Structure 1
Amino acid sequence: MKSFKKNVQGLRSLTVAVMCLMLCLTSMGQQKKAKELFRQKKFSAVIEHYTRDFKQGLEPADVRILTKSMLRIGLVPDALELAQRSYLDRPAEPEIILALCEALIYEGDYAAAYYLLDEIVDPSYKTDELYLLAQQAAVLKEWQNRESEYDVSPLNGFNTPKNEFSLYIHNGKRIFCSSQSKDDVAQELYDRGKKEYTSLWEADGDTSDHRPFSGGRFKGKFNIGPFAFSKDKFYFTFSEELSPGNNLLQILSTDASDPSLSTAEVVPLFDGEYNMAHPTFSPDGNRIIFSSDLPGGYGGMDLYYSVKTISGWSSPINLGEVVNTAGNEVFPRLIDGQLYFSSNGHPGYGGLDIFVVTDDMHREDLRNLYAPINSPFDDFGYLRTGESSGYFSSNRPGSAGGDDIFMYQKKKVKPDMRLISGILEIEGIPRKNVKMVLTDKEGNILEQAYTDMYGVFYFNRDPEGGEFNIKAVEDDESVKKAAVFLTDSKGNKSQKLVADAEGNFTFELLALDDYYIDYIDVEDNTLFAFTMKGQLFRSSPGDMDENIEINLITERGIIKKDTRSTDFGYFQFNDVVPEDRYWFFADAGGQPLKMAILDENDMIVKILDQDENGRYYYDRPFDEGQMISLYNEDMELVTIAADQAINIPNIFYDLNSYQLKDSAKVELEKLIDILKNNEDLKIELSSHTDSRGGARYNEELSSKRAREAWAFIVGHGIDPKRIVAIGRGEDEPVNSCIDGVNCTEQEHAINRRTEFRILSN
């Protein structure tokens, strides 16, 4: 995977010999030596072994070891060819299926890898390894459609055929790790310089004009780096071979003003011969985070921290399961309250991926940096230099060779919506409950809102500029004397609008940094939406016969939904977000009306009165024994009925298909947010078919639909153990479309759905 003396052409000639060996010999293979070489990460030596020393042919386990070795050193096409030819010869062998799956992942064909794993039927292979590989394939299958946030490019004027990695910018200089010689042995995940004698180098810019750091006082037959500056000290990882194949990593420190290996001392973090590497520090220098294989951890190398006390550094404390896994967590770097690190234990693209989590280790904040920053190869050594740019290291193909340094820049993304706020005054006095209408220059109505008791109104608008009109709709003649002011984010008047002869207040929406505009998120319907019923009346329910407009509004008076009352004053709002309090406004021309909230049987739940703004509000009552409280996708606390089957809207499928549509993915992303907002939440995810087709076929089809939804959710970082995916076939239609009943295509489509039910919270 890293630098090696054999060139790529030479290694590819070895793979041709391996192909011949695989096709010509069939006797039982002995993998002991190959496995040991692979364990030592001597991947090119594994390839040589199978062509020079190995004389007994390739068994399925040999194919897998060889395929993985090729992948680790970047011979992806050769590895894929080997795995594919082996699969064509022996398609039922689990080891060969696993080898082909891993090669497909490196190739980027995640969907093929995901579905290929279904072909393993041997129960002895239903292990954690298969489970993790299936999770990775599911994750990547969903991630491949993500729109890239960054542009990534290698520093071609900086990288050399040597290894360059872990860039650090200090006092304007680029300081980095680089090897001076090459070796055909790949390096350890946590010792990038194994056998290559990595040292520290510096440059004045992103150029190839490199020079030894600190006058070359860190060079020798040992490995130096990564490193960190903290106040007046320079800390670095030091690795020297104690015996053949036995290296010990230590953290040393020296004076930052005159750094030198000769004056460095070991940082006393723990007694005993354990690897300690990759230091990073809090801004005040009183906390160090590092990587170590101390006993009692979660896996290989874990991240730990120690705190500086009067008597020295405290005993190391493991950062815990949010960060650490059964794999390796390495190359940490604290930047502005966030911890960046690399891991091959969290779901990712393969090899080491770069992750970020807030310094307080909240699980919901842990995230993969995604492609193109991450790849199937090792990605590490992250450095953020601004809000939208930085550097990282990778051994991916396409640069100068070995470990190289890459630059990333975030693509510019326009905000979804902006908030326009204003004040309506009549003869200098704010006027409440006046409908304000926002139109474009052609007069098309874009949005409506009511002013509050202070005359304040709000509109949501898209980020594009243009000319707009605001009009106050009021029968009162005094509205002709109205004045409209646009306000800034603090509610201060910033611009007075002048009305034309028709009472339109015209203004131009300027650039995105215009001073009176705020940016807000656009609220979407939650998965927990429900129908709310009500009734207007004067003295007693049923005494109304007018058709009155009723608005469901926010506390600020923005109209969220509108409807009209029918006979006897009844009205209904669909797709209402579960909230503790609801606000209503009835445009009754000043009549003093009362409002009743009704249950599903049209029985009165509560009678509401008007507040000082002429608005009604309703606080929902709850029976705690029959309800579950949790956070919805917008981190709002909602309460729903226990054991309630919640239909996920728009999760529809074409006939005989289990592929998710784009509209379905939008809805599932809401469920993903709910799961992330409620760490202990476990759900049952059930998929259904219509009645057409045989019962057994429909059961299998619904199982595939459930698994497709499961894969999408798991692909966004949700623990698969929190989701039970079930295919229920045609047994639970929501309408009368069962076998023997003639139904329209639209009626059948309603039964092709996905629901979820909360199992525990």
Structure 2
Amino acid sequence: MRNYQLAESWYSKLVTMKDAPVDSYITYAEVLRNNGKYTEAKKQYEYLKDSRFPGVDPAMMDRMIRSCDSAVFWMNHPTDIQVRNLVFTNSIYSDWGGIPFSRGLLFLSDRLESGFNNKKYGWTGNGYTHLFIADESRTVKPLDTDNINGVFHTGLVTLSADASEMVVSKTDHSVLKDHTSGDRHLNLLGFSLYSSRYAGGKWSAVTPLSFGAATKGYSVGDPFLSKDGKFLYFSSDIPGGYGGTDIYYAERLSDGAWSTPKNIGPAVNTAGQERCPAFDEKGNFYFASDALVGMGGLDIYVVAGGNFTKGTPLNMGYPVNSPEDDFAFYFKDGSRGYLSSNRQGGKGNDDIYSFRIPSAASSYAKLSGKVINGTTSAPIANAVVTITDSSRNERRQISTDDDGRFSFRLDTLSAYQLKAEKTGYHGHGTFVDMSKQGDEDSTYVLMKLDSIILDRPQKLFDQIGNIYFDYDKWELKPGMKAEVDKLVNILQVEPTLKVEISAYTDARGKASYNMKLSRERAQSVVNYLEEKGIDAARLQAKGYGESKLVNGCSDGVPCTEREHLQNRRVEFTLFRR
């Protein structure tokens, strides 16, 4: 379901079980990569390699280990390319494959559009993927539904240089694939390519492209037309390739037909999936692959000069690539374009992002800091630090070095949200407004992470003042809710934990009444946690009345109100489920 945080917690529990299947370790390592925890993922790959499990390819594990090392380097040495979420096109659904068209943007989405064909796709529960257009006013609507979009999936498209011709991938009922999921046998449909012409403000009905017998019965998609219109590049599972899907090209013949496709060769194609071929104005060749050294999922690569038969693919690095799937990298002009990604921090599943290559004259500010243990002040290595500029929908990540240090190079003085995370620690967030730094072009932040303690009571409300309960009251006040939110965060990130909420009173009043009052206080915290979406089965409320005072303020002992306040508290104890 691509909920990588929850998946990580459950797989971390699964791999500790006796006789855990090998694929659970592999999936756990991949999920760790998806969450940017490359050092932890590397340990899993090293364990898989050293244990010599049947079916585990040591060479593949070596590549994954190199990928983890490379990803840490790329995140700590990001490129200057600026990547931002294209908010006006994106939704809670899957939105991807953006290409410019007539001062607007064409893109794909599986959103359920009012007044449109809302037939649901059984695999996802969302709509079928169709082409949409966002015009200059950023109004989004389906594209020419009669001639381009059909009942089933529409896939990636490519346009000729003058935008008069479109090649589009669409579901083809003659391309039938068998798929087994558990004990279910499914039939999946593949894609074929079709062409359409634009005239009079409308696209013509699509006609199928023919490549002869070579592609018959096989899926063909991800088209890209060369600038001169003479060559068509695409991905396909045609037999005789190097892996799952390879990239091919065909030449347009003098009669307008297409030649038999040719595989572009092993310099680009691998045993995995290669997709989304494209060229820029300088002739550099771009594509996506999940089987080269990368950050996780599909990564975007470039072959300088476009010599894909002999050239070496170079990973585009971070932030073009992320720990998740990154693909469909297309230029709008010489320095700007679009890519698609399901990276964390987006609006939905896949989102469209704009990218811009800044000029050499661009200036930058620096935000650096250190992550330490809140109790011992020791530096925390390999913590994941996320910086978010909500005003520009920009989100980046970095890993701390062995001394707990991190540094971001920023192209604008803005307000940023920082968050540090590491397995076994409470996450810590802070807000930094660099727009108020005056002439300073650098800022330093110290972030403290506290260890998650199991099987031992911990204070939930540590501050004296409006955080503790008022005398003879059990309602949570706003300041108290902010403290309980820290517990909410722990339970959301660590779904394998459960918690006991223990509440106490001071010694004034009858012991029986205080016992009832403390139970009400514990239950008020549990109620709030449930409102925040925490499963009731993970929560236990207990009241201890005046039985466990933290000072000497027992019955008859004169104490100040501040001393009594210290006893009107809540504690929590975390356990493994």
Under a length normalisation based on structure 1, what TM-score does the superposition of the two structures give?
0.41
The offset of 1:352, in angstroms, is 1.3
* Fraction of identical pairs, as percent: 26
Q: Does 1:228 align with 2:173?
A: no
The offset of 1:226, in angstroms, is 0.9
Change (3 A) 1:362 1:92: same
Higher helix share: 1
Q: Does 1:109 align with 2:37?
A: yes
Task: Kindly provide the CA deviation profile for residues 514-533 of structure 1, in whole angstroms up to 9, marking residues without a partner as x.
Answer: xxxxxxxxxxxxxxxxxxxx
Distance in 2 between the 1:326 and 1:250 partners? Answer: 22
Change (3 A) 1:338 1:265: same
Distance in 2 between the 1:258 and 1:226 partners? Answer: 23
Q: For residues 245-324 of structure 1, what are the structure 2 equivalents within 5 Å?
A: 245-257=187-199, 263-271=205-213, 272-311=216-255, 312-324=257-269
Q: Which residue of 2 aligns with 1:351?
A: 297
Q: Does 1:218 align with 2:163?
A: no
Q: For residues 148-167 of structure 1, what are the structure 2 equivalents within 5 Å?
A: 148-167=79-98
Change (3 A) 1:259 1:294: farther
Q: Does 1:75 align with 2:75?
A: no
The offset of 1:206, in angstroms, is 7.1
Distance in 2 between the 1:117 and 1:219 partners? Answer: 43
SS of the residue 1:390 aligns to: strand
Q: Which residue of 1 aligns with 2:270?
A: 325
Distance in 1 between the 2:272 and 2:21 partners? Answer: 27
Change (3 A) 1:260 1:226: farther
Distance in 2 between the 1:279 and 1:152 partners? Answer: 24
SS of the residue 1:144 aligns to: helix
Change (3 A) 1:375 1:91: farther
Distance in 1 between the 2:149 and 2:20 partners? Answer: 53
Q: Does 1:238 align with 2:170?
A: yes
Q: Which residue of 2 aligns with 1:371?
A: 318
Aligned amino acid, residue 264 of structure 2 = L
Aligned amino acid, residue 299 of structure 2 = D
SS of the residue 2:42 aligns to: helix
Q: For residues 46-85 of structure 1, what are the structure 2 equivalents within 5 Å?
A: 73-85=1-13
The offset of 1:239, in angstroms, is 0.8
Retained in 1: the 8 A contact 2:78–2:319? no
Task: Kindly provide the CA deviation profile for residues 6-30 of structure 1, in whole angstroms up to 9, marking residues without a partner as x.
Answer: xxxxxxxxxxxxxxxxxxxxxxxxx
Distance in 1 between the 2:351 and 2:35 partners? Answer: 20
SS of the residue 1:263 aligns to: coil
Distance in 2 between the 1:130 and 1:254 partners? Answer: 45
Change (3 A) 1:118 1:325: closer
Change (3 A) 1:359 1:164: same
Aligned amino acid, residue 291 of structure 2 = G
Retained in 2: the 8 A contact 1:236–1:279? yes
Distance in 2 between the 1:308 and 1:97 partners? Answer: 47
Retained in 1: the 8 A contact 2:121–2:128? no
SS of the residue 1:160 aligns to: coil
SS of the residue 2:199 aligns to: coil
Aligned amino acid, residue 154 of structure 1 = N
The offset of 1:283, in angstroms, is 1.5
The offset of 1:387, in angstroms, is 3.8
Change (3 A) 1:110 1:251: same
Distance in 1 between the 2:96 and 2:137 partners? Answer: 13
Q: Which residue of 2 aligns with 1:410?
A: 357
SS of the residue 1:355 aligns to: strand
SS of the residue 1:119 aligns to: helix
Retained in 1: the 8 A contact 2:30–2:296? no
Q: Which residue of 1 aligns with 2:135?
A: 204
Distance in 2 between the 1:109 and 1:376 partners? Answer: 9
The offset of 1:402, in angstroms, is 2.2
Change (3 A) 1:146 1:313: same
SS of the residue 2:167 aligns to: strand
Distance in 2 between the 1:97 and 1:246 partners? Answer: 28
Distance in 1 between the 2:65 and 2:7 partners? Answer: 20
Change (3 A) 1:85 1:265: same
Q: Which residue of 1 aligns with 2:51?
A: 122
Retained in 1: the 8 A contact 2:96–2:341? yes
Change (3 A) 1:260 1:218: farther
Q: Which residue of 1 aligns with 2:485?
A: none
Change (3 A) 1:148 1:206: farther
Change (3 A) 1:229 1:258: farther
Distance in 1 between the 2:261 and 2:107 partners? Answer: 27
Distance in 2 between the 1:415 and 1:229 partners? Answer: 32
Retained in 2: the 8 A contact 1:157–1:206? no
Q: Which runs of 5+ in 2 are unaligned?
A: 113-117, 177-185, 364-401, 406-577
User: Relative contact order: is structure 1 or structure 2 higher (C-alpha 8 Å, sep ≥ 6)?
Assistant: 2
Aligned amino acid, residue 297 of structure 1 = G
Aligned amino acid, residue 165 of structure 1 = W
Q: For residues 470-549 of structure 1, what are the structure 2 equivalents within 5 Å?
A: none
Aligned amino acid, residue 97 of structure 2 = S
Retained in 2: the 8 A contact 1:222–1:240? no
The offset of 1:289, in angstroms, is 0.8
Q: Does 1:175 align with 2:121?
A: no
SS of the residue 1:158 aligns to: coil
Q: Does 1:139 align with 2:89?
A: no
Change (3 A) 1:224 1:391: same
The offset of 1:143, in angstroms, is 2.6
Under a length normalisation based on structure 2, what TM-score does the superposition of the two structures give?
0.53
Retained in 1: the 8 A contact 2:236–2:247? yes
The offset of 1:304, in angstroms, is 0.7
Q: Which runs of 5+ in 1 are unaligned?
A: 1-72, 188-193, 417-658, 663-761
Distance in 1 between the 2:336 and 2:18 partners? Answer: 48
Aligned amino acid, residue 284 of structure 2 = Q
Aligned amino acid, residue 319 of structure 2 = P
Retained in 2: the 8 A contact 1:218–1:260? no
CA RMSD in angstroms comes to: 3.3
Aligned amino acid, residue 130 of structure 1 = M
The offset of 1:215, in angstroms, is 5.8
